[in-house]
Structure 1
């Protein structure tokens, strides 16, 4: 039975970030295990089959603090402009990095590229052991420690277990940490798109009758599509030929990037807000999508999860410095207290935007368009939304 200070269930971006942040912030004092079910694809996912993630400006600064940003920056596409509009109505907001005096409003990174960087980091840090492919099968907690059994038969002893294993966290289920769910009654269609006009670092979010459609700039002139549709449309949309799909998407998105010319492999998933009922339990902390899974309307999911990561890592590092047991409430309670306000504000903002923009009530349509037009003229009204969108949020 191997002894660790921290065992992290989940080795995707959030879990890997936590392991690296702990290693950096404690100056390599902790022995860390990362348990990941899916082996990294060393060949990546070339071209149109790769999914992407949006990083806020604030997230790039957090990643820089743990020495990850220099490598990620090489595979990141900068978002230099954001264009927000309401289909069929006059309301519109345009934001630019130049106007805000920053290098970029955010960045888009393909998950395959990020995965290679994170797995290289995990493999080359002596204090981190990666168990992959492997799953946490059983957790037993005593007063003094937690005992973790993997499906490979390996057993690990630790002071702290961190659940970073996604929206339907098996780790949380094992620990009887419940989750609340709200079905948005929308499905997100994900694909990569090529357009006739170059995107020039522009991101678009367009609100439609049934939900938002977003295009984010990617490498090689492509854009990453998130198209929210009604569940009853899913089978029909997914069955369309590529040419038919592009015609329907063009009608919804418009011609701001010219003709939509190529679409890659399509994926879809239901949009459900999930929140764990607790962020901490005895010798346990919950982070990332295991803690909360958001609607993609404002691109906040990973950015909120990264703020979980950095806050937990800071509190653990502070606990190590003062010689505290990092699995006890003196450390974990501070993580919970710091995260709850940001978590609630971000969940409320994203859910509120869904309610406001996925609604065809004439009074709401008029009100939101007036709001968009007013925001386009007023820096004061833009500021709160911008701060959260750019990740400039108190942790």
Structure 2
């Protein structure tokens, strides 16, 4: 006999957990399926960059106060390599306490899980979904858990991670940037407190995010160069980083474990699937420049929860309900994708005319408080800013 629920959340990462928490008092029967075991979920080494808008959402979910090891971003320094142009975004000028935050993925995940204690949601880790199909009245989900195959019927299936289940029948739009990102933790002689750096180069952007005793580094390069960089010894890597970034942080001293992943834009088709909706990186995967991806996914979860809570019980998962949700999210999603994609295309080249124009644009932006506030608030709050 098949199990039944109102909402099945496929993916137990931060976006899926945020949706679950936003619906915890709804009275709906919710089941969460996470393919990873709890051990793998809780040991992810990544750090996340959160916007002020994301902090507000996490406060509403009752999660923020339980998060530890948070580093603040109060200034963002934007520059272009071998160019005079630069822009400074400062929290006090934008009338906010901070522009953003950097924290361990594990800290956020643990806080979300702690906040969900006592919830009536059924959470299954190590539950790998093998098939997702729409039916006349809902969605049918096949998954493998504890050595056995299971089936779950839901009125609404929310895919909050990956999205590969639907790619065979609904292929996404994919744009390969020809770049990979190297991520590592570095320390230096002159760290600038609460200051993040975004530096554009012809091979791609380089970001230093203040974290703990140093910075989280995100260094983009071609796929081939990134693989070569993974095999540099620490001294060579830090020397090359200093030459690439400059003297603003002094000499780079230590280097943590390096990881690498390819960069691409992926966007799910803009269609309404019966009783199924995609959010977070299942709906869109963005280039990490400007740190928009996870923050957009969190807004997906929050607004979907509001759409679920506002709809009539019999309308849950209906075409009308899901089409309305997609319409509400369309502007924010498109704006975020165009913003990050445009930055990569505009700055990842060494064309002389574009280089001069970019330098001038950064300088002009730095002199226009209204324009800086507009850009910063879109980064912090999306189109709601």
Normalised by the size of structure 1, how large is the TM-score? 0.92
Secondary structure of 1:151's partner? strand
In structure 2, stretches of 5+ residues that fail to align are none
Report whether the alignment pairs 1:134 with 2:127: yes
1:279 and 1:291 in contact (8 A); partners too: no
Instruction: Report 1:177-188 matches (<5 A).
Output: 177-188=170-181
Contact 2:365 2:372 in 1 (8 A): yes
2:167 to 173, 176, 182: 173
* Aligned match of 1:253: 245
> Kindly tell me: are residues 222 and 340 of structure 1, through their superposed partners in 2, closer, same or farther at Cα, counting changes over 3 Å?
same
- Matched with 1:41 is 39
Within the candidate set 102, 111, 124, 2:96 is matched to 102
Number of aligned residue pairs: 381
In the alignment, the residues of structure 2 paired with residue 198 and residue 383 of structure 1 have an alpha-carbon distance, to the nearest angstrom, of: 26
Over the aligned positions, Cα root-mean-square deviation in angstroms equals 1.8
* 2:153 pairs with one of 154, 157, 179: 157
Q: Distance between the aligned counterparts of 1:160 and 1:274, measured in 2?
A: 23
Distance between the aligned counterparts of 1:230 and 1:119, measured in 2? 37
Go from structure 1 to structure 2 and tell me whether the alpha carbon gap of 1:358 and 1:196 turns closer, same or farther (over 3 Å shift): same
> Alpha-carbon deviations, 1:149-191, whole Å to 9, x = none?
211222222100011122xx233237x2220101111111111
For 1:221-260, what aligned pairs fall within 5 Å after superposition? Answer: 221-260=213-252
Alpha-carbon contact 1:177-1:278 (below 8 Å) kept: no
Does the Cα contact within 8 Å between 1:195 and 1:222 map onto a contact in 2? yes
Describe the shift of the 1:203–1:339 C-alpha distance in structure 2 as closer, same or farther (beyond 3 A).
same
Measured after TM superposition, the shift of residue 44 of structure 1 is 5.4
Counterpart residue number, 2:327: 337
Do the aligned residues in 1 keep the contact of 2:220 with 2:226 (CA within 8 Å)?
no
Q: Is the 8 A contact 2:38 2:126 kept in 1?
A: no
TM-score (norm 2): 0.94
Aligned with 1:282: secondary structure? coil
Structure 1 residue 298 displacement after superposition: 1.1
Question: Counterparts of 2:128 and 2:160 in 1: how far apart (Å)?
Answer: 12
1:346 is matched with 336
Partner of 1:63: 58
Q: Give the conservation status (yes or no) of the 8 Å contact 2:196–2:209.
A: yes
Secondary structure of 1:165's counterpart equals coil
Identify which range, 298-307 or 278-287, moves more after superposition. 278-287
Q: Determine if contact 1:9/1:171 at 8 Å carries over to the other structure.
A: no
In structure 2, C-alpha distance between the alignment counterparts of 1:112 and 1:348, rounded to whole Å: 30
1:318 paired with 2:319, answer no
Displacement after TM superposition at 1:98 (Å): 1.8
